[in-house]
Amino acid sequence: MNKTGYFTHGDCWKHEMGAGHPECPERLDAIEDRLLISGVGDALERRDAGIASLSDIELAHGRMFVAALRGLSDVLKEDILAGGPTHTQVDPDTSMNVSTWDAALRAAGAALAATDAVMAGELENAFCAIRPPGHHACRDKAMGFCFFNNVAIAAKYALERHGLKRVAIVDFDVHHGNGTEDIVAGDQRILMVSFFQHPFYPMGGTFSNASNLVNLPVPAYTKGPAVRELIEASWIPRLEAFRPEMIFISAGFDAHRDDDLGQMGLVEQDYAWITDRLKDVARRHASKRIVSCLEGGYNLSALARSVEAHIRVLADV
Ligand SMILES: [Zn+2]
């Protein structure tokens, strides 16, 4: 059996936010095509995502927020039947269609199923090819293309349901994971390390003094070598001292130099290098356990190449 899992679900393709929106179903097609053509897909254990239970989602989100999102989805379905619009806007760049609720449950469900499989020792690590993404979703707010915070839910789940004492969340998306920070700041069982373009959307990452956050704001046009230096100097010593029993990755690939939603200069080899460094930490402290969840990445070609590079390292192919 292959030791790296690949979790996804058809429902993740059905969520879409309108013509021309960069967070589109074609992102998953680009990844799938690349894994097929390169042969890397053959090295993966492919599994369908389950549906996250509301009680698991509520490990990271408020009950009223979850109920409100579900209500919005139900009202939208009624409105569409009555001839109303096909989308409901939850923030200026984020909207729901009839499939968003199911896709969001599957996205979180993928992260949870991957966590279960890795904890059970069936897999060493896993990549979740999911949308909607999660790291801008706050405890009580959907925003920035995100509804449920897949990584934060899975991290809390690993602590609460699997009894781990310490888990790390690593976020290399070009945007700051403000939602994850909102949910985990001050929770000393979780160490969150990230870098992000700054100043930039969503303008966070520099306010919290919580000691479990390692936020590294970097200016636009920062390239891979500088990022690697920062990671070596800041992330790695903190991760080594923290000794996480499992590592969750908010794997956004929009810091790639070809991605127009950010202005940073990473390339595929940088993602491979970062993944390798994290694998090294996981090998020493976490029985190799890594669950990586797709976040951003909007240039389809660069996204697909970067995911391939990331997965090649995870799966040793
Ligand atoms: Zn992003």
pLDDT per residue, tens digit, the chain (317 aa), is 679 999 999 999 999 999 999 999 999 999 999 999 999 999 999 999 999 999 999 999 999 999 999 999 999 999 999 999 999 999 999 999 999 999 999 999 999 999 999 999 999 999 999 999 999 999 999 999 999 999 999 999 999 999 999 999 999 999 999 999 999 999 999 999 999 999 999 998 989 989 999 999 999 999 999 999 999 999 999 999 999 999 999 999 999 999 999 999 999 999 999 999 999 999 999 999 999 999 999 999 999 999 999 999 999 99
Residues whose CB is less than 8 angstroms from the CB of residue 286 and which lie 6 or more positions away in sequence, other chains included: 244, 245, 246, 247
Rounded alpha-carbon distances, angstroms, from residue 76 to 66, 79, 88, 90: 16, 5, 7, 12
The reported pLDDT for the residue numbered 48 is: 97
The reported pLDDT for the residue numbered 204 is: 87
| Predicted structure pTM score | 0.98
Asked if 21 is an active-site residue, the reply is: no
CA distance linking residue 34 with residue 37, whole number of Å:
5
What would the two tokens of residue 224 be? 């891979």
Amino acid identity for residue 202 in this structure: P
Q: Say how many Å lie between the CA of residue 298 and the centre of ligand 1.
A: 9
Spatial CA neighbour of 146 closest among 170, 110, 177 = 177
Q: Say how many Å lie between the CA of residue 197 and the centre of ligand 1.
A: 10
The reported pLDDT for the residue numbered 1 is: 63
The reported pLDDT for the residue numbered 2 is: 77
Q: Which of 9, 136, 175, 256 is catalytic?
A: 136
> What is the torsion angle, in degrees rounded to the nearest 10, for the CA atoms of residue 270, residue 262, residue 249 and residue 230?
50
Q: Say how many Å lie between the CA of residue 174 and the centre of ligand 1.
A: 5
Residue with tokens 């509520």, as numbered in its chain = 58
Q: Say how many Å lie between the CA of residue 289 and the centre of ligand 1.
A: 24
CA distance linking residue 135 with residue 130, whole number of Å:
12
Instruction: Report the alpha-carbon angle 307-139-63, nearest 5.
Output: 120
E strand or H helix at 250: strand 247-251
Rg (CA), the chain: 18
